[in-house]
Amino acid sequence: MKFLHTSDWHIGQTFYDFDRHQEHQAFLNWLNQTISEQDIDVLLVAGDIFDTANPSGASITLFYSFLSEITNAYPNLQVVIIAGNHDSAIRLEMPIPLLQNTKVSIIGNVKKNVDKSIDYDALTISLTNYQNEVEVFCLAVPFLRIGDYPKNEAGVYEYNYGISKFYTEAFDNINLKKKSNQTIIAMGHLHAMGVETNIEDTAERPIIGGVENINTSSFPSDLKYVALGHIHKPQRLSANDAIRYSGSPIPLSFSEKTYKHQVVIFEINKGIFENLEIIEIPIHTPLLSIPKQNKVWEEVLFELENLPIKNDEDKNAPYLEVKVLLDKPIPDLKNRIQEIVQTKNVRLARIDTKLPRKDKSSNENVLVNEIELYNLQPIQVLNTIYNDKYNEDIPEEFNQMFNDILVEINQENQN
């Protein structure tokens, strides 16, 4: 059986006021073609289908049109989709009644039995081979929130313990029922310990502040493959290639412009994981930083003036990030840059300015970003204020309390 693993589509993302509908359409067209060319049996989509919990009508139409296309074109294709932290579990599961006669499975949330125990059967997807026999069970685990996973021995929701316990119990639930010629894979949307991310990328920071870095030992060792989502940089987490993030299909921030966006293809034959293949996704619209590192205005001006002249026929002109090093604020900086680039074959998306500031400990100048509210996360604001006031990092217990509050607010918003 041949599998394709992808994740973190973030359909509907607005990139500095630019709509990315055409980029996502191009990716889904490419994915459709790749499914055909590679003769894929199972498509695994590991969360963050949409960029927000309340996507636009155009985003919803794009996603479900894609599902309609592939189910009609490949009636034997099996599709397993889980919700990520950006998705609304309820909204994602809404079309399930319309998918009854297809081989599409969408898992948005964790269901409970009458006795309040976790319904692991509802997360277990049976995948059949060409003989229409169940050969692989997929443990499809969506993004887990407080209340979704088991409590620890003290009766408290402890994230790392709970996630590990969840996967162990779910695996055991399948393992007790499966036959000797059947095997198990898993999916998840989480932040694993030891992942490589870009320090400038706020989107890839831990979901709940740092306490939720899951060790790969939390996944049962007998799982043949673990298809993960959330981290946008594609990477493996085990020496045998069997635990992987596929990464985002398009760059979702300028810090991702150097990533090799890709999908992961692998096979499971008679219980053996093999034939791993990485297929790079073509970039529809490039991202360009001028210069690559922040420089003084005179040097930036020179590089901007040497950009290619505007080409009205180029529908995929690069998104431009301008990186300026300031010794003092320039009030009309934005207007100056806009005036120059309006005749260039780029689309101005972001102006990144840095100012030198004295480091309290070393008394040396360090570069800091000017405040960009759309990049700030609540936990960052709390940590910054605490550090400025007390000159030390916030205690972990305060971090945990604050994160618990955020999760509860998020759950209320989901409902």
| Crossing angle of helices 21-37 and 57-73, rounded to 10° | 10
For the domain 2-280, what is the CATH code? Answer: 3.60.21.10
3-state class (DSSP) for residue 136: strand
Q: Which residues contact 257 (CB under 8 A, 6 or more apart)?
A: 251, 286, 287, 288, 289
Question: Which two tokens mark 102?
Answer: 């297809």
349 in Cβ contact with 320 (< 8 Å): yes
Provide the pLDDT for residue 212: 61
pLDDT tens, residue order, the chain (415 aa) = 999 999 999 999 999 989 999 999 999 999 999 999 999 999 999 999 999 999 999 999 999 999 999 999 999 999 999 999 999 999 899 888 888 888 999 999 999 999 999 999 999 999 999 999 999 999 999 999 888 999 888 888 888 899 999 999 999 999 999 998 999 999 999 998 888 877 665 555 555 444 567 888 889 989 999 999 999 999 998 777 899 999 999 999 999 998 999 999 999 998 999 999 999 999 999 999 999 999 999 999 999 999 999 988 888 899 999 999 988 778 889 999 999 999 999 999 999 988 766 555 555 555 555 544 444 567 777 777 766 555 567 777 777 788 778 777 766 665 5
250 in Cβ contact with 24 (< 8 Å): yes
What amino acid is encoded at 27 in this protein?
F
Question: Which two tokens mark 304?
Answer: 């901007």
Provide the pLDDT for residue 209: 47
3-state class (DSSP) for residue 149: coil
Provide the pLDDT for residue 373: 43
Q: What's the first-to-final CA gap in the chain, in angstroms?
A: 38
3-state class (DSSP) for residue 390: helix
Q: Which helix (H) or strand (E) holds 243?
A: strand 243-245
230 in Cβ contact with 207 (< 8 Å): yes
Domain spans in the chain, listed from the N-terminal domain onward: 2-280, 287-375
Quickly list DSSP for 398-411: HHHHHHHHHHHHHH
Q: How far apart are CA 68 and CA 62, in angstroms?
A: 10
Cβ–Cβ contacts within 10 Å for residue 115, how many? Answer: 5
Provide the pLDDT for residue 247: 95
Cis peptide before 251 (omega within 30 of 0): no
Q: Which residues contact 370 (CB under 8 A, 6 or more apart)?
A: 353, 354, 355
Return the residue matching tokens 């806009």.
338
Provide the pLDDT for residue 362: 52
3-state class (DSSP) for residue 191: coil
Q: Which residues contact 216 (CB under 8 A, 6 or more apart)?
A: 192, 193, 194, 237, 238, 243
3-state class (DSSP) for residue 96: helix
Provide the pLDDT for residue 400: 75
Q: How far apart are CA 301 and CA 39, in angstroms?
A: 50
Strands 226-229 and 134-140: unpaired
Residues making up the chain, counted from first to last: 415
Cβ–Cβ contacts within 10 Å for residue 191, how many? Answer: 20
- Reported as half-sphere exposure (CB side, CA atoms, 13 A), residue 290 has a value of 25
256 in Cβ contact with 264 (< 8 Å): no
Provide the pLDDT for residue 388: 59
Provide the pLDDT for residue 203: 56
Considering the entire predicted model, what is its pTM?
A: 0.83
Question: Which two tokens mark 185?
Answer: 């894979």
3-state class (DSSP) for residue 47: coil
CA angle centred on 188, ends 186 and 192, rounded to 5°? 115
Q: How far apart are CA 355 and CA 203, in angstroms?
A: 23
Cβ–Cβ contacts within 10 Å for residue 255, how many? Answer: 21
Q: How far apart are CA 42 and CA 128, in angstroms?
A: 9
Alpha carbon 243 to chain centroid, angstroms: 15
Q: Return the DSSP state at 270.
A: T
